[in-house]
Amino acid sequence: MTFLYKLFKTLDKLMPAKEVSAHCDIPCGIYDPYYAQIAAHSVIRMVNLINEASSKMNPNASMEERAVFVSKIQRYTAVKEEHAEIVKKEVRIIWGDYFKPEHLQQHPELHELVFKIMKLGSKARQEVNIDASKELLENVQKFAEIFWKTKGMSTMKVKAPSPSGGEIIVQK
C-alpha cells in the first residue's frame, strides 16, 4: 500500500465522508447577470460600427483603403462574435449553477427564455443584424430581472455605460 492510500484510509476512519451538495462546482454564491448585459451591449455596438463603416466605404476606394476597411470589419466581427458567446456563457453559468427547481416553479418562463437567449446569441454571431442584437439584449435584461427577483431584490433600469445606448438592469 502506498503512503497516500494509508493516509486516506486512516482519515476516512477518523472523519467519515458525508454526502454534501452545492448549487455549483465551487459554491461561491457570486453570480450577476451584469456581464451578460455588457456583452450584449458590445454586440450592439459592434453591429453599429460594422454598419457605419460599411456605409462609408467608397466603392472606388484604393487598395490601401479597402485593406483598412477589411481589417476594421474583421476586428468588429471578431469582437461581436466573442461577446455574443460571452452572453451565452454567462447565462449558461447562472442557468446551470444558480437556478434551482423552486426558481423554475416561480418563473416557468425561464426555460423558454434561456433557450431564446442561446438562439439569439447564435444569430448575433452569425449575422450583422441590429434587430437580433437588440432582441438579445432585451431577453438578457428579462433574465436579469428574474435573477434578481429570485434573490428577493427589486430592479431598476440605469443608463448603460457604453456608446451602444440603452439601459442595464441592476438591483436596487
Write down the pLDDT at residue 168: 94
Write down the pLDDT at residue 157: 95
Residue 4 pLDDT exceeds 90: no
Q: Are 87 and 117 in contact (CB under 8 A)?
A: yes
Residues in Cβ contact with 160 at an 8 Å cutoff, skipping those fewer than 6 apart: 37, 38, 41, 166, 167, 168
Please state the rounded mean pLDDT for residues 83-91.
98
Please state the rounded mean pLDDT for residues 115-139.
97
Confidence band, pLDDT 50/70/90 cuts, at residue 165: confident
Of 53 and 21, which is predicted with more confidence? 53
C-alpha to C-alpha distances, 67 to 52, 57, 81, nearest whole angstrom = 16, 11, 21
Please state the rounded mean pLDDT for residues 121-137.
97
Rounded to the nearest 5°, which phi and psi values hold at 111? Answer: -55, -50
Q: Are 19 and 149 in contact (CB under 8 A)?
A: no
Rounded to the nearest 5°, which phi and psi values hold at 74? Answer: -65, -45
Q: Are 47 and 129 in contact (CB under 8 A)?
A: yes
pLDDT-wise least confident of 17-21, 72-76, 132-136: 17-21
Residue 21 pLDDT exceeds 80: no
Write down the pLDDT at residue 25: 56
pLDDT-wise least confident of 8-12, 17-21, 166-170: 17-21
C-alpha to C-alpha distances, 71 to 53, 54, 63, 67, nearest whole angstrom = 11, 12, 12, 6
Write down the pLDDT at residue 27: 61
Vertex 136 angle, CA 112 and 127, to 5°: 115
Q: Which residues of 37-57 are buried (b: 16+ CB within 10 A; e: fewer)?
A: bbbbbbbbbbbbbbeeeeeee
Write down the pLDDT at residue 29: 75
All structural domains of the chain: 32-171 (1.20.120.400)
Write down the pLDDT at residue 95: 95
Alpha-carbon gap, residue 92 to 87, rounded angstroms: 8
> On the CB side of 27, how many CA atoms lie within 13 Å of its CA?
4
pLDDT digits (tens, 9 = 90+) for 22-58: 445 566 678 999 999 999 999 999 999 999 999 999 9
